[in-house]
Amino acid sequence: MTDEVEGALRRRVLRHEGPDAAWQDEALVVERPLYFVINGEPLMATMRTPGDDADLVAGYLVTEGVVDDPARLTILKNIRGPEVDTICVGVLGLDPGALERLRRVGASVTSCGVCGREGAAAFTPRARGPLRPLEVPTAQIPALLDAMGRRQPLFEATGGLHAAALVDEALEVVCVKEDIGRHNAIDKAAGWLLRQGMLDAAPLALISSGRGSFEVVQKAAMAGIGTVICVSAASSMAVRVAQALGVRLFGFARGRRAVRYWDPEWGAPEEPV
């Protein structure tokens, strides 16, 4: 027996503990494909957790550099299918070649933000413009992580989601988005910024529940976010992108611990990572 609601599904499982086993209800995070249709043309599919689909597609278009004005974007309809969902979006003034440049080979997956792209251009650091990194005192990071955790109901129920949180100049968490894919969670946060008319409004920090990868830092920079705080380690490529774009990058943000991998106040690195 199953009982599905948006983002979570309950079913009977057999839980083992040593030699003992017992049937019980378990909440599972929902993973379903979502097709993006832009101006009537299919673009791509992504595996995601249902919820905030409009923010997801809006944020993807932001972090890929296609849309930066909410007035250009119209959410036309969100169609729930038996197995696959579809969201249809209208974009005013879309470059005719933009969809072809974005179209991926096959479906993307929740763990990868660059699958299907070709060429070195996919890995060239890009930002919306000069970034304004928000100064986040390391002593404040535990409170921000706690605030993010309190706004993760699906993670609390399932233990199976990533989260992306936005922190404003007052060091308050203003937005938390959840998804089975950490890149999708970041896109949902970026889409929320766009739809709220807050792109470039003020310096922000992004907290990501996963590791600091190339794509995490890149997506933040394309949303105009200059400070990235990750719960897990940063990769060499993430640090290289942070150096190139002037992103303040933290990793291993757990409890009172945090590692500052790069800070634009340090100046130019002596050697590239």
Q: What are phi and psi of 145, to 5 degrees?
A: -65, -40
Paired strand residues for 36 = 44, 87
**Is 115 considered catalytic here?**
no
Q: Per residue in 77-96, is it b (16+ CB within 10 Å) or e — as a string?
A: eeeeeeeebbbbbebeebee
3-state secondary structure at position 117? coil
**Cα–Cα distance list, 131 to 205, 212, 265, 267 (Å):** 11, 18, 13, 15
Q: Which of 252, 175, 168 is nearest to 212 (CA)?
A: 252
Neighbours of 189 (CB within 10 A): 32
**Cα–Cα distance list, 184 to 31, 134, 251 (Å):** 12, 23, 19
Q: What are phi and psi of 127, to 5 degrees?
A: -140, 165
Question: In this structure, are residues 91 and 39 in contact, taking their beta carbons and an 8 Å threshold?
Answer: yes
Q: What are phi and psi of 3, to 5 degrees?
A: -140, 100
Residues 88, 112, 175, 230: which is the catalytic one? 112
The region, left, alpha or beta by phi > 0 then psi within -120 to 50, assigned to residue 143 is: alpha
Active site residues: 112
